[in-house]
Structure 1
Amino acid sequence: MYDPTRLAALVAVAEAGSITRAAERLGYTPPALSQQLAKLEREAGAALLVRHHRGARLTDAGELLVARARRILDELDRARHELARLTGLAGGTLRLGTFPTAGIHLLPPVLAAFRRAHPDVELSVADHDPPHGVTAVAAGAVDLALTHAYHPAEPFPVPSSVRLEPVLVEELVLVTAPGHALSDGAARLPLSALAGQPLISMAPDHPARRGVESLLAAAGATPSVLVPTPGYAVVCALVSAGLGVAVVPEMVARTAVTPVGVRALEGGEMRRTILVAHRADEVAPAADAFRALLRGAFGRAHQV
């Protein structure tokens, strides 16, 4: 069965004429949209697009699928509107909390899909750095909050009224200045290679990062610059300027504004899980619909 999100991505490319323009329209990054299209081509068992220097065009198989996809998506839109009237999603509000990385790279495409499905629901988005988003959900200040948890780390307390649902898991990777010797190579880098390296230290006293910082210290990385709060854009800028190396989530590394070298680390023991926090045992059609879209966009993880 074809995923409607991927069908919508193909239609958007057909209408926009390029993956870049379609990604802007849908709120994706171009690499993220390309991944969705590659998955659709695997499902279809045929090439759907031909990329060229001015954009992308549909193959014959792509033309056929786009024609059917438009009909399918139109029917799904009608079904959503009819169901919204039945389930209480024809109005009301949805209040979301997020942190910067998720707000920039994960939230927009899901929020755009929610808006298309439920245009009458009023939306608001507020910044809540983890773990404050969980507190905001417990207090009723927001309906849902995107938050995160690091590994290794001590588990943070979660109010009994709140449930956490994993959205995706990403490894932490090494970022260096462009051309740095440690970024040269495709093999995973052993942590021992960080011995003596000047480290942009990501707030060792911050509960979320404490376990990660301990592993780096044990590997012999030498603190060079301390960033008191986990501001990844600043860290990547300092790394890019040659002030040291850092270990950051892969999503941060791949989308850094400043140029950095990226290297996967051996063992994969350092990682970050992005989660959505919601109130347990509460009837909230809009929040439930948004969580379902998150699961569809990023794959269902095990409940925690």
Structure 2
Amino acid sequence: MYDPTRLAALVAVAEAGSISRAADRLGYTAPALSQQLAKLEREAGTALLVRHHRGARLTAAGELLLVRARRVLDELDQARHELTRLTGLSGGRLRIGTFMTAGTHLLPPALSAFRRAHPDVELSVTEYVPPQAGTAVALGEVDLALTHEYVPGEAMPPPEGVRLEPLLTEELVLVTAPGHALSAGPGRLPLAELAGQPLVSMAPANPNRRAVEAELAAMGASVAVRCESPSYAVVCALVSAGLGVAVVPEMMAEGSVTPLGVRRLDPPELHRRISVAYRPGGGTPAADTLRALLRGAFTRHSTAP
């Protein structure tokens, strides 16, 4: 039984005329594609390609298999389209809500995989500030939405008829200007050592800020917010410029466009939980499919609190 992925590799080399150009077309590295072709040759029991200084050409056996490979791949593609129509994933529109961090770092790979499998579904993405995303799902403005909440923090139950499925939990970490003494030490930084430090923080009503201030207060440490911004990206930029230190979700620290010092905190009790909001029993096949993709992609990278 020939692997369809390897058959597709053979077709790509035949059409591109070289392994490197075929690898670019398929999104492989050239060595990885060569490995797939070598496995296909072992399955076939004969050489399928002849490599030369200008690229690669198929042997007589490769040409024979090429004809069959194209037929097999065409049949599989036709089956995919027929199943798509059967499950309601041919045409239509999928409306997704998200917040900025997820829309920038997490949603694109899942939507890319969805588009490859279901190219006829129109996609739209709208940004919401949590907990507005849950309300948008309840009102039917979007089919599903990514949202978040801080732990510990004030519990915010979803609107009636909307369910939250947790996907990913990330720590809140300390960010500083590069070379700052607080980010240079080994191991985790005791949260109490932030006492008296000039903090760059979100607006006073932001759940993250309230959670950080509550933890500091519980340790008897004073809070010294010196600068506020409603955007984590701006908070990170201000920290990088030396205006203070901040406690932000790890994803924001890793994705910052400005250089930062980063250090984990002790105790590691401050987290942000990212969930998908959806209507149980009321979703479309497209929404259910994307939710499954999100679940598969995010839970592999989840950090348990």
- Normalising by structure 1, report the TM-score: 0.74
Equivalents in 2 of 1:62, 1:188: separation in Å?
44
Q: Shift of the alpha carbon at 1:299?
A: 2.1
Q: Give the aligned residue type for 2:172.
A: L
Whether the 8 Å CA contact 1:101–1:252 is kept in 2: the answer is: yes
Distance 1:66 1:198, change over 3 A: farther
Superposed counterparts of 1:144-293, under 5 Å:
144-207=144-207, 209-219=209-219, 220=221, 222-227=223-228, 229=230, 231-293=231-293
- Higher Rg: 2
1:148-198 C-alpha deviation (Å, 9 max, x unpaired): 011110111311210111111110100000000111134111112212211
Q: Shift of the alpha carbon at 1:94?
A: 0.3
Identity of aligned residues (%): 60
Equivalents in 2 of 1:137, 1:147: separation in Å?
11
Q: Which runs of 5+ in 1 are unaligned?
A: 1-10, 27-47, 50-55
Distance 1:221 1:155, change over 3 A: same
Distance 1:226 1:80, change over 3 A: farther
1:36-73 C-alpha deviation (Å, 9 max, x unpaired): xxxxxxxxxxxx98xxxxxx8449757657999xx9xx
Q: Shift of the alpha carbon at 1:203?
A: 2.4
Equivalents in 1 of 2:275, 2:189: separation in Å?
28
SS of corresponding position for 1:187:
coil
Whether the 8 Å CA contact 1:153–1:212 is kept in 2: the answer is: no
Equivalents in 2 of 1:65, 1:192: separation in Å?
57
Superposed counterparts of 1:1-304, under 5 Å:
57-58=31-32, 64=38, 80-207=80-207, 209-219=209-219, 220=221, 222-227=223-228, 229=230, 231-299=231-299
Equivalents in 2 of 1:296, 1:83: separation in Å?
21
1:215-265 C-alpha deviation (Å, 9 max, x unpaired): 134452532334253x10110011001111000011100110111000011
Whether the 8 Å CA contact 2:174–2:246 is kept in 1: the answer is: yes
Q: CA RMSD in A?
A: 3.4
Whether the 8 Å CA contact 1:191–1:216 is kept in 2: the answer is: yes
Deviates more, 1:212-221 or 1:161-170: 212-221
Whether the 8 Å CA contact 1:152–1:212 is kept in 2: the answer is: no
Equivalents in 2 of 1:80, 1:156: separation in Å?
41
SS of corresponding position for 2:266:
coil
Equivalents in 1 of 2:76, 2:210: separation in Å?
46
Q: Which runs of 5+ in 2 are unaligned?
A: 1-11, 13-18, 44-68
- Normalising by structure 2, report the TM-score: 0.73
Whether the 8 Å CA contact 1:224–1:243 is kept in 2: the answer is: no
Aligned residues: 256
Distance 1:179 1:262, change over 3 A: same
